[in-house]
Amino acid sequence: MISTDLQKAINDQITAELWSSNLYLSMAFALKAEGWDGFAHWMDKQALEEREHATTMADYLIKRGGVAKVSQIDVVPEKWGSVLEVFEHVYSHECHVSELIDKVVDLAAKENDKATQDFFWGFVREQVEEEATASSIVDKLKKAGDQGLFYLDSQLAQR
């Protein structure tokens, strides 16, 4: 049986993952409206990945005897700046999500819940990759300039 505190922390993380999914969908819609189909495709895939994280966490919580909840999801922004600004926001957001996941791991360690620690270490490792990917895209956008946007758009459509 999972503790009440860890159950709340995991449910909070589920909510954060669902908010992230909505954030990336909002970005996808905005990018698509601007004609950036490849960037929008990348964001659609990212949105799905975040929703899958939430589902995986809910499944884990249920297996441990907890109750998974879908709390109210706050509204996400609808307006975005340049493609570079969008991906800078993605990178910043992924860093924030990493901090949130670290807090769940820290709580599990404090409670000596090795199963939850081990489960969330998988997300810690995945966050390292997500941060690195977002950072890499930001770097490429900066180097490519306006002329390179079309090439990067076509590359991200391959995801």
% of the chain residues with pLDDT over 90? 95
* Residue 145, pLDDT score: 85
User: What is d(CA 132, CA 95) in angstroms, rounded to the nearest whole number?
Assistant: 10
On the question of pLDDT at 159 being above 90, the answer is no
Confidence of residue 43 (pLDDT cuts 50, 70, 90): very high
Question: In this prediction, what percent of the chain has a pLDDT beyond 70?
Answer: 100
CATH 3.30.210.10 for domain 4-156, yes or no, is: no
Cβ neighbors of 65 (< 8 A, separation 6 or more) are 1, 2
* Mean pLDDT within 130-159: 94
Decide if pLDDT at 75 tops 90. yes
Q: How far apart are CA 94 and CA 124, in angstroms?
A: 11
What value does the mean pLDDT take over residues 132-159?
94
Q: Where are the domains of the chain?
A: 4-156
Which pLDDT belongs to residue 101? Answer: 97
Q: What is the pLDDT of residue 103?
A: 97
Q: What pLDDT does 146 receive? A: 84
- pLDDT of 1 reads 87
pTM of the model: 0.94
Cβ atoms within 10 Å of 116's Cβ, excluding its own: 24
User: What's the CA angle centered on 143, arms 41 and 79, to 5 degrees?
Assistant: 45
Q: Read off the pLDDT of each residue in 38-45 and give the average, rounded to a whole number.
A: 98
Q: Is the pLDDT of residue 147 over 90?
A: no
Write the pLDDT tens digit of every residue in 77-127: 999 899 999 999 999 999 999 999 999 999 999 999 999 999 999 999 999
